[in-house]
Protein backbone atom coordinates (compact mmCIF):
# COMPACT_ATOMS: atom_id res chain seq x y z
CA UNK A 1 0.00 0.00 0.00
CA UNK A 2 1.39 3.31 -1.04
CA UNK A 3 0.47 6.71 0.28
CA UNK A 4 0.97 10.03 -1.40
CA UNK A 5 2.06 11.62 1.88
CA UNK A 6 4.73 8.94 2.36
CA UNK A 7 5.90 9.52 -1.21
CA UNK A 8 6.25 13.28 -0.61
CA UNK A 9 8.25 12.59 2.58
CA UNK A 10 10.45 10.11 0.77
CA UNK A 11 9.08 7.15 2.75
CA UNK A 12 6.97 5.65 -0.01
CA UNK A 13 8.69 2.27 0.19
CA UNK A 14 7.97 1.73 3.90
CA UNK A 15 5.22 -0.74 4.63
CA UNK A 16 2.39 0.76 6.71
CA UNK A 17 2.27 -2.40 8.80
CA UNK A 18 5.81 -1.82 10.04
CA UNK A 19 4.96 1.75 10.82
CA UNK A 20 1.90 0.58 12.74
CA UNK A 21 4.01 -1.90 14.74
CA UNK A 22 6.54 0.86 15.56
CA UNK A 23 3.72 3.07 16.82
CA UNK A 24 2.36 0.25 18.99
CA UNK A 25 5.89 -0.27 20.42
CA UNK A 26 6.22 3.42 21.23
CA UNK A 27 2.79 3.43 22.89
CA UNK A 28 3.79 0.37 24.92
CA UNK A 29 6.99 2.14 26.11
CA UNK A 30 4.91 5.18 27.08
CA UNK A 31 2.49 2.97 29.04
CA UNK A 32 5.43 1.47 30.97
CA UNK A 33 6.79 4.96 31.69
CA UNK A 34 3.37 6.09 32.95
CA UNK A 35 3.18 3.07 35.28
CA UNK A 36 6.67 3.85 36.66
CA UNK A 37 5.69 7.50 37.20
CA UNK A 38 2.47 6.46 38.97
CA UNK A 39 4.49 4.18 41.32
CA UNK A 40 6.98 6.96 42.07
CA UNK A 41 4.11 9.38 42.67
CA UNK A 42 2.55 6.96 45.18
CA UNK A 43 5.86 6.63 47.06
CA UNK A 44 6.22 10.40 47.16
CA UNK A 45 2.63 10.79 48.34
CA UNK A 46 3.22 8.24 51.15
CA UNK A 47 6.31 10.13 52.25
CA UNK A 48 4.47 13.42 52.13
CA UNK A 49 1.55 12.05 54.14
CA UNK A 50 3.93 10.56 56.71
CA UNK A 51 5.76 13.87 56.95
CA UNK A 52 2.53 15.82 57.33
CA UNK A 53 0.85 13.27 59.59
CA UNK A 54 -1.17 15.01 62.26
CA UNK A 55 0.09 18.39 61.18
CA UNK A 56 -1.28 21.25 59.25
CA UNK A 57 0.74 23.83 57.40
CA UNK A 58 0.70 26.25 60.34
CA UNK A 59 1.94 23.71 62.90
CA UNK A 60 4.61 22.53 60.47
CA UNK A 61 5.75 26.13 60.02
CA UNK A 62 5.91 26.53 63.80
CA UNK A 63 8.01 23.37 64.10
CA UNK A 64 10.43 24.61 61.47
CA UNK A 65 10.65 28.00 63.23
CA UNK A 66 11.37 26.18 66.54
CA UNK A 67 14.16 24.22 64.84
CA UNK A 68 15.70 27.44 63.54
CA UNK A 69 15.48 28.99 67.02
CA UNK A 70 17.07 25.90 68.57
CA UNK A 71 19.81 25.99 65.95
CA UNK A 72 20.44 29.68 66.65
CA UNK A 73 20.63 29.09 70.41
CA UNK A 74 23.00 26.14 69.89
CA UNK A 75 25.23 28.28 67.71
CA UNK A 76 25.29 31.03 70.37
CA UNK A 77 26.15 28.43 73.03
CA UNK A 78 28.96 27.02 70.88
CA UNK A 79 30.35 30.53 70.36
CA UNK A 80 30.23 31.20 74.12
CA UNK A 81 31.96 27.87 74.81
CA UNK A 82 34.69 28.72 72.30
CA UNK A 83 35.31 32.04 74.05
CA UNK A 84 35.45 30.32 77.44
CA UNK A 85 37.84 27.66 76.12
CA UNK A 86 40.15 30.34 74.72
CA UNK A 87 40.06 32.10 78.10
CA UNK A 88 40.76 28.85 79.97
CA UNK A 89 43.63 27.95 77.63
CA UNK A 90 45.16 31.39 78.11
CA UNK A 91 44.81 31.12 81.90
CA UNK A 92 46.21 27.62 81.90
CA UNK A 93 49.50 28.88 80.49
CA UNK A 94 50.13 30.60 83.83
CA UNK A 95 48.89 27.77 86.05
CA UNK A 96 51.36 25.34 87.57
CA UNK A 97 51.43 22.34 85.28
CA UNK A 98 54.76 20.76 86.10
CA UNK A 99 56.02 19.68 89.47
CA UNK A 100 58.88 17.80 90.97
CA UNK A 101 59.06 16.58 94.56
CA UNK A 102 62.09 15.17 96.31
CA UNK A 103 61.84 13.95 99.92
CA UNK A 104 65.07 13.59 101.85
CA UNK A 105 66.63 13.37 105.30
CA UNK A 106 68.38 16.74 105.77
CA UNK A 107 70.36 15.60 108.82
CA UNK A 108 71.11 11.94 108.37
CA UNK A 109 69.36 9.68 110.89
CA UNK A 110 67.38 12.49 112.54
CA UNK A 111 63.95 10.96 112.30
CA UNK A 112 63.22 10.09 108.72
CA UNK A 113 62.67 11.81 105.44
CA UNK A 114 60.67 14.82 106.60
CA UNK A 115 62.51 17.43 104.52
CA UNK A 116 61.51 18.08 100.92
CA UNK A 117 62.11 20.19 97.82
CA UNK A 118 59.07 21.01 95.68
CA UNK A 119 59.40 22.63 92.24
CA UNK A 120 56.23 24.14 90.71
CA UNK A 121 56.42 25.40 87.11
CA UNK A 122 53.97 26.73 84.55
CA UNK A 123 54.00 25.99 80.83
CA UNK A 124 56.84 28.48 80.21
CA UNK A 125 58.96 26.86 82.97
CA UNK A 126 58.45 29.81 85.32
CA UNK A 127 57.62 29.25 88.97
CA UNK A 128 59.45 28.53 92.20
CA UNK A 129 61.05 25.90 94.41
CA UNK A 130 60.09 25.46 98.02
CA UNK A 131 62.71 23.79 100.16
CA UNK A 132 61.58 22.73 103.61
CA UNK A 133 64.27 21.50 105.99
CA UNK A 134 63.10 19.61 109.07
CA UNK A 135 65.43 19.39 112.07
CA UNK A 136 65.07 18.69 115.77
CA UNK A 137 65.05 22.47 116.37
CA UNK A 138 62.17 23.11 113.95
CA UNK A 139 61.18 23.35 110.33
CA UNK A 140 62.67 25.99 108.03
CA UNK A 141 61.29 26.80 104.56
CA UNK A 142 62.98 28.62 101.70
CA UNK A 143 61.76 29.62 98.26
CA UNK A 144 63.72 30.28 95.10
CA UNK A 145 62.27 31.81 91.95
CA UNK A 146 62.61 29.96 88.65
CA UNK A 147 62.53 31.82 85.31
CA UNK A 148 62.71 29.89 82.04
CA UNK A 149 63.76 26.79 84.00
CA UNK A 150 66.75 28.54 85.64
CA UNK A 151 67.28 29.88 89.16
CA UNK A 152 69.39 32.99 89.76
CA UNK A 153 70.21 31.61 93.22
CA UNK A 154 72.31 28.48 93.40
CA UNK A 155 70.34 25.31 94.05
CA UNK A 156 71.09 22.47 96.42
CA UNK A 157 71.30 18.87 95.23
CA UNK A 158 67.69 18.04 96.15
CA UNK A 159 66.41 21.29 94.64
CA UNK A 160 68.20 20.51 91.36
CA UNK A 161 66.61 17.06 91.30
CA UNK A 162 63.14 18.49 91.94
CA UNK A 163 63.65 21.08 89.19
CA UNK A 164 64.88 18.42 86.74
CA UNK A 165 61.82 16.28 87.46
CA UNK A 166 59.52 19.25 86.87
CA UNK A 167 61.29 20.27 83.66
CA UNK A 168 61.10 16.72 82.32
CA UNK A 169 57.42 16.52 83.37
CA UNK A 170 57.89 13.19 85.09
CA UNK A 171 55.73 14.45 87.94
CA UNK A 172 56.53 11.72 90.42
CA UNK A 173 57.76 11.68 93.97
CA UNK A 174 61.36 10.54 94.47
CA UNK A 175 62.91 9.60 97.76
CA UNK A 176 66.54 10.10 98.56
Digit-coded pLDDT (tens) for 75-134: 999 999 999 999 998 888 788 889 999 998 887 766 678 899 999 998 888 999 999 998
| Residue 1 pLDDT > 70 | no
Residue 79 in contact with residue 87, Cβ under 8 Å? no
Helices within the chain (DSSP H only)? 4-9, 16-51, 57-92, 157-167
Degrees to nearest 5, angle at CA 154 with 146 and 175: 80
What are the φ/ψ torsions at residue 99 (nearest 5 degrees)?
A: -145, 155
pTM comes to 0.53
Q: Residue 2: its pLDDT value, please?
A: 59
Residues 139, 143: Cα–Cα separation, whole Å: 14
- 17 or 72, which is more confident? 72
DSSP assigned state of 69: H
DSSP conformation class of 113: S
pLDDT at 175: 47
The yes-or-no verdict on residue 40 having pLDDT over 60 is yes
How long is the chain? 176
Question: Rounded CA gap, 176 and 173, in Å?
Answer: 10
Band of residue 137 on the pLDDT scale cut at 50, 70, 90 = confident
Sheet containing strand 139-147, edge to edge, reads 150-151, 139-147, 127-134, 115-121, 98-104, 173-175
User: What integer pLDDT is reported at residue 42 of this predicted model?
Assistant: 96
Residue 94: the pLDDT is: 80
Amino acid sequence: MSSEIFNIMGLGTIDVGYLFLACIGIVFIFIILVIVLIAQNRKMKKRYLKFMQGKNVKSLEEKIAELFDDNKSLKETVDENRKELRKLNKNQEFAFQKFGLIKYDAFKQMGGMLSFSLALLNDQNNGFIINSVHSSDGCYSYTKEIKDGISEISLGEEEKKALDIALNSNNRVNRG
